[in-house]
Structure 1
Amino acid sequence: MKETLGAASGLVRLTFLVQNLYAEVGRGCDLTTAQAQMLCSLADRSIGMAELSSMLGLERSSLTGLVDRAQQRGLVVREDDPQDRRAVKVALTPAGSAALHRFHDELTERLDQLLQELPATERDRFTKTLGRVVADAPAVFADAGS
């Protein structure tokens, strides 16, 4: 007998599936999950440490270490915040941007493969529904077309 999957169970299972792919692709790109999440958050903008801490759900001390390690690898740079002399913003370097694009492209390809067996109408419906579900969530992984 086929299992009936409720919305909550389906979303939890999908979360695990996506998290595992995220980590696997990150390893292939020489990025930890936390580094990949940070790079995705910094795409096309610099972010203050407090906002980045909130976005990533990290304590400031943990974020400081994450940024330090990424900076040592040449992926990010700290910049003075022109609006607040006491604050620091984090931005991608060209190497960080290249790492982000490689990660984004590989992850997008792997995620797209998950839906390839669905008929086009189901994929379109799933995409529209998913867009409504996540409409108010922060955009930290932009579509290539955006």
Structure 2
Amino acid sequence: MDYGDKLFWLSVVIQRKYAQVCAEFDLTPSQATLLCAIRDEPRQMADLAASLGMTKNALSQLVDRIARRGLVVRAGSAQDRRVVMLSVTPEGKVLAEAVYAEVAKRLPEIARNLDADDQRAFERTATAIVDTTDLSAPPGPNRPTTP
């Protein structure tokens, strides 16, 4: 396997672990990602769609599903009536914080078979990748979407 293959399979391992955690909270990975993206502050729907690599229509359908569960609410912007803001409800905030904490606790398990030095190197590398990536930018032809 070449480097690209290994990164592909690392992505699969991470997505599988993430999906397991999400399922334990009765959420799809997309729902959990959305909740975690807005857990600290409301965001514009258009910006969220771009950041999450989704069409506005797909995001709207996702929001409809979790709004029915009472986890998010849409509201107009005070500055611009055309802008729709999305925020978590108190119940959604609790759930988002719980999911986020569990993911942060359990994702490092993917490196459990590495020795201590390799685990630290993996952490440094993952940190460098995240710190040098513009997570707010929409995916494009040369930008992969997030899992």
TM over 0.5: yes
Give the CA RMSD over aligned residues: 1.7
Which residues of structure 2 form unaligned runs of 5+?
A: 137-147
Residues matched between the structures, number? 135
Q: How does 1:97-136 map to 2 (within 5 A)?
A: 97-134=93-130, 135-136=132-133
Percent identity over the alignment is 34
Q: By how many angstroms is 1:44 displaced?
A: 0.6
Match of 1:56 among 52, 56, 68: 52
Residue identity in the other structure for 2:64: D
Distance 2:2 2:126 in 1: 16
User: What is the CA–CA distance in structure 2 between the aligned matches of 1:40 and 1:15, rounded to whole Å?
Assistant: 19
Rounded to whole Å, the distance in 1 between the matches of 2:110 and 2:55 is 33
Asked if residue 21 in structure 1 is aligned to residue 17 in structure 2, the reply is yes
With normalisation by structure 1, the TM-score equals: 0.83
Q: Name which of 53, 76, 81 aligns with 1:80.
A: 76
Consecutive unaligned residues of structure 1, counting only runs of 5 or more, are 140-146
- 8 Å CA contact 2:72–2:86 kept in 1: the answer is yes
How much has 1:117 moved relative to structure 2? 3.2
Return the alpha-carbon distance in structure 2 between the equivalents of residues 16 and 137 of structure 1.
22
Tell me: higher relative CO, structure 1 or 2? Use CA pairs within 8 A at least 6 residues apart.
2
Which among 117, 134, 142 is matched to residue 137 of structure 1? 134
- Corresponding residue of 2:85: 89
